[in-house]
Chains A and B, each alone.
Chain A
Amino acid sequence: MPEKNAVEMRGVTKRYPRVLACDGVDLSIRQGEIHAIIGENGAGKSTLMKILYGMVRPDEGSITLNGKSLTGHSASDSIRLGLGMVHQHFMLIDPFTVAENVVLGIEPVRAGLFIDGRTARERVERLSSEYGLALAPDERIENLSVGLEQRAEIVKVLYRGADILILDEPTGVLTPQEVTELFVVLRALRESGRTIIFITHKLNEVIELADRVTVMRDGRVTGVVSAAETTPAELARMMVGRDVLLRVERREATPGEAVLVVNKLSAVGRKGTHVLDHVSLKIRSGEILGIAGVHGNGQTELVDAITGLHATSSGNVTLSGTDITNLRPRTIRDLGVAHVPEDRLERGLVPEFTVAENLLLGHHHRAGYSKRGLIDVAKMEEHARELIVEHDLRPADSSISASHLSGGNQQKLIVAREFDGAPALLIASQPTRGVDIGAIEFVHTNILKMRDAGAAVLLVSAELSEIMTLSDRIAVMYGGRIVQEFEGGTVSEEELGRYMTGAAGAEAAVEAEGTAEATGAAGGTA
C-alpha cells in the first residue's frame, strides 16, 4: 500500500499587518505517524495549525486533508473531515460532567427531544476503556486533575470521529508521570491508525515520542527530520538559528549567611483550607532553592506569603534577621526582596504602560526617580535606556506599550527590573513559562549570575528540568507542605515526580504533623 499523507499543506502564507506569520510553508503529515512541530514562540506553528483547523484563512497556498482539497474551510468542515484539536487551554466546562462535555454539540437524543444520558455515558466509557484513559463519565470536570481533564479533551475529540489529532503544547501542565501516561495513550492511538500532530518546544519529548519532526523559525520551515536520526542540539540549532546552551553552565555554589528563614509558616486560603501547613525553609546567600510541585500545592501561597501578598496565620518569615512576616509588600521590597511573579500579565507588568514605565514600577518611589511625589521623567527614560541595552530587550524602544512585546521580551523586561539594584533575596516564580529557548537561556544565565553575586534565590517552577538544572537544593511541595528536601543533583525526575503527586513522602508528612502537634502541646504547657 502506498504511503498516504493525512495532511498536505503547500506554500501556505499568512500575512498580518506587521508580521509574516507563515511564509510559504510546506507540511506533509503521513497517515498513522506522530509528527512533532517545534519552533519558538512566534515561529508560526500556532498560526499554521489554526489555518489547518479552519480558524484562520491563509492568503496563499493549498491544503489537502485526508485526500480532500480544502479552500476557505471552517472549523466545522475540518471536524467533519476527521480533524480534532486538543487546545492548549482546555475547552471544558467546569460544572458539567465528563459525559456532558464530550457529547456537547452532538448529543445523543431520545424521543427526538431529550438528551440520552445513558448512551452518552456508554460512549464515553467505551472510548475511555479502549485507550486506557480511565475516565469516569459522571465526574464533574472541576473535580478532575489536569491530566484527567486532558484525557476528557482527547475523548471529546475522538467522540467527534477524529482520525487526525492536533495536540497543542500538551505536556506543559503535566507531571512527569502524567507525561509518561499521555505518551502511552498517544502511542495506542497511533496503533489504532490515527495520525497525531504534536506541537511542543520540549526537545527531549520530541525525540522520545515523535516519528518525524518539522522545525519552524520565523514563519518558515527550517527542517524536516526523522526523530530517530536527530539530537536535541541539532533541533535547537534549527529552531533558533544558532548554537544554544541547552543547559547553562554553573559553578558550585558558595553559600554564605542565611538570608531567608521561613519558620513553620501556615496560611489559610479563600475557602478556609490550609493552603500552607507549617512550612519551614532556609536559603543562604549565594544559593538557589528550587521548589518543585504540581500547580496548586501551596507554591503560589508560599511566594505570596513571603512577599506580603497573602496574610499568614502562624509562623514567621525573617530576612537577614529582620522579621518581615505580614509586612506590607512595599516595605518587604524595600528591604531587598525582588519578585518575578508567576503570571506576568496579571502581576508582573501593566500591559498598557510603556516599557519605560514598566521598568520603573516598584522603584518609582525611590530616591532619584521621584521628587516631591512627581516622577522624574528624564531619569525614568535614562534608566529604561540603560536596562534595555544591558538586557537586549527587543524592540529597543522604551516608548511602546509592554503589551506589544513578545512573551519572551515581557519576561526579560520583568527580569531586568527585578534584578536591578542587587536584591538580597530573589524570588522567581515560573520564570520561563511560555517563553522561547532564547529567553530561557537569558533568564537562567541571569538567575545564576545573581546567585554568584551573593543573592539568595527561591525558584518555583512547574518545569522539572528547570528546577534540576538551576537548584542547589530542591524542596518538594505537596498539599501545602514541604514533603521532602534534596541536595541538587542527587535526585531523578521520576523520584521528584513521586513526591510531587503524594505517592511518596506520606510518612514524612505524617511525621511533620506529629512534630507540629508536639510543639503545639509543649507551647500550651509552657
Chain B
Amino acid sequence: MFELVVLDSALRMATPLILASLGGLFSERSGVVNIALEGILLTGAFASILATYYTGDPWVGVAAGIFAGILVSLIHAAVTVIFKADQIVSGVAINLLAAGATQFLTWITWGSSSNSPPVVGMAPWSLPEAWGPVARGINVVIGHYPPLVYVALVAVAAAHVVLWHTPFGLRLRATGEHPGAVDAIGVSVRKMRFAGILLSGALAGLGGAFLALNTHQFVKNMSAGRGYIALAAMIFGKWNPVGAALACLLFGYAEAVQMGLQGQQVPSQFVQMIPYVLTMVALVGVIGRTRPPAALGKPY
C-alpha cells in the first residue's frame, strides 16, 4: 500500500483537490458557500482542453481553465451577493448547468457525446540531467511531476500567508465572520465577497485544467464528485489552507489506493466512501471543535 507508485499517484490525485479546496476556502472565508466547485472544476477542465486543442499549447489551456473558472464563479457571485439568493441552490444549479453545457459543447465541437480527442499534456518539470548526479537524485525523489503539482503546493503556502498576514486576508475573514462590522468601518462587503468567490473560481478552474491536461483529454463528467470532496477536505481541514491540503493528500491517497484495489476483494465503493465518512466524523467534532465562519451561508 505504501509503494512509491501509490504515493506518486496520490500526489497527482490530490493536486486538483488541493487547488479546488483552496478555492472553496477563499469563498467560504468571505461567507459564501461554494458548492459550485464541482461545476467550476468541470468547466475549467473543458475550457483547458478546448484551448489546448486549438492552440496546441497546454499553457494557453491553463489560462483558459482559470478564465472559465472565473466566469462561472462570476455567476455564483452575482446570484448570491447581488441578488442575495440561496448559496446552495445557486451552486447546485451551476453544477447541473456545467454538466449539461460541457457535454453539449463536447458534442458540437468534436461530434462525440463522451470525450474529446487527445491533446498535448504538460511536460513534467525536472532538472537537466547535465547538472550531474545531484540533479538526477532530486529528479528521482521529487521530480517528474507536471508543473501544476508544484503550483498547487506553493498555492497552499501562499493562501496561508494571504489569509493570515495581509490586510486583504484579515478583511476577507472578517467579512465571513461579521459582515455588519466590516460594513460599519467602511469596507465594502460586496467587494470582499466578490473577491473571495472569483479567487475561488480561478483556483478551481486551475484545478480543472490540471485534471484534464493530466489525462490529455476531456471526458464528460470527469470531475466525478471531486468538487464535493474538495469541499469536504476544506471542512475536514477546519477552513485552513494547510489542514485542507493535508486532507486532500489523504483523500488523494484513498483514491490512489482504490485504483490499486480494483479487481481485488474489497469493493472499491467502500474506499470511495472514505472522504465522506471522514468528513462526517470531522463535522460531529471527533477531531476537535470545528468552527465555520460565523456568517457562512448568510446573504448580506
Contacts and interface: CB of A to CB of B under 8 A. Distances in A.
Interface of A: 74-76, 79, 85, 87, 91-96, 100-101, 104-105, 107, 109, 113-115, 156, 160
A485 B164 CA distance: 49
Interface string B152-185: 0000000001000111001101100110111011
A93 B182 CA distance: 9
A93 B178 contact: yes
B120 interface: no
A93 B185 contact: no
A93 B181 contact: yes
A158 to B, nearest CB: 13
A76 B294 CA distance: 25
Given A93-B177, A104-B174, A114 B184 contact: no
Contact of A115 (B170, B184, B186, B291): B170
A95 B291 contact: yes
B187 interface: yes
A371 B187 CA distance: 57
Interface string B261-300: 0000000000000000000000000000001001000000
Interface string B168-212: 001101100110111011110000000000000000000000000
A85 B186 CA distance: 12
Contacts of A75: 184, 186
A107 B173 CA distance: 14
B165 A114 contact: yes
A93 B186 contact: no
A96 B181 CA distance: 12
A85 B161 CA distance: 32
Contact of A104 (B165, B166, B170, B180): B170
Contact of B170 (A87, A94, A107): A107
A87, A93, A114 pick with most chain B CB within 10 angstroms:
A93
Contacts of B166: 113-115
Nearest to B187: A105
A44 B220 CA distance: 61
25 contacts: A75-B184, A76-B186, A79-B185, A79-B186, A85-B184, A91-B184, A91-B185, A93-B174, A93-B177, A94-B177, A95-B291, A95-B294, A96-B173, A96-B177, A101-B181, A104-B171, A104-B174, A104-B182, A105-B182, A107-B170, A113-B166, A114-B165, A114-B166, A115-B166, A115-B170
A76 B165 CA distance: 25
Given A105-B186, A115-B165, A91 B178 contact: yes
A94 B174 CA distance: 9
A518 B185 CA distance: 56
B177, B178, B294 pick with most chain A CB within 10 angstroms:
B178
Interface in B110-128: none
A105 B185 CA distance: 7
**In terms of DSSP, what is the predominant structure of the interface of chain A?**
loop
Contacts of A92: 178, 181
A96 B178 CA distance: 11
**In terms of DSSP, what is the predominant structure of the interface of chain B?**
helix
Contacts of A96: 170, 173-174, 177
Contacts of B294: 94-95
A105 B177 contact: no
A93 B180 CA distance: 10
Contacts of B180: 91
A138 to B, nearest CB: 15
Given A93-B177, A94-B178, 18 more contacts: A74-B186, A79-B185, A91-B180, A91-B181, A93-B174, A93-B178, A96-B177, A104-B181, A104-B187, A105-B182, A105-B185, A107-B167, A107-B170, A113-B166, A114-B165, A114-B166, A115-B167, A156-B185
Contacts of A94: 177-178, 294
A466 B294 CA distance: 34
Q: Top 4 nearest A-B pairs by Cβ distance?
A: A76-B186, A91-B181, A107-B167, A105-B185
Contacts of B182: 104-105
B184 to A, nearest CB: 5
Contacts of A100: 170
A420 to B, nearest CB: 37
Contacts of A156: 185
Nearest to A109: B167
A178 B209 CA distance: 58
A71 B102 CA distance: 52
Contacts of A74: 186
B164 to A, nearest CB: 9
Given A91-B178, A109-B167, A104 B184 contact: no
A314 B226 CA distance: 49
B184 A87 contact: yes
Contacts of B174: 93, 96, 104
Contacts of A113: 166
Nearest to A107: B167
Nearest to A160: B185
A152 B180 CA distance: 16
Contact of B171 (A79, A91, A105, A109): A105
A435 B174 CA distance: 32
A51 to B, nearest CB: 16
A341 to B, nearest CB: 24
Contacts of B186: 74-76, 79, 105
Nearest to B291: A95
B119 to A, nearest CB: 38
A79 B166 CA distance: 23
Nearest to B178: A93
Given A114-B165, A115-B165, A104 B177 contact: no
B173, B181, B182 pick with most chain A CB within 10 angstroms:
B181
A206 B291 CA distance: 42
A95 B173 CA distance: 10
A94 B291 CA distance: 12
Nearest to B165: A114
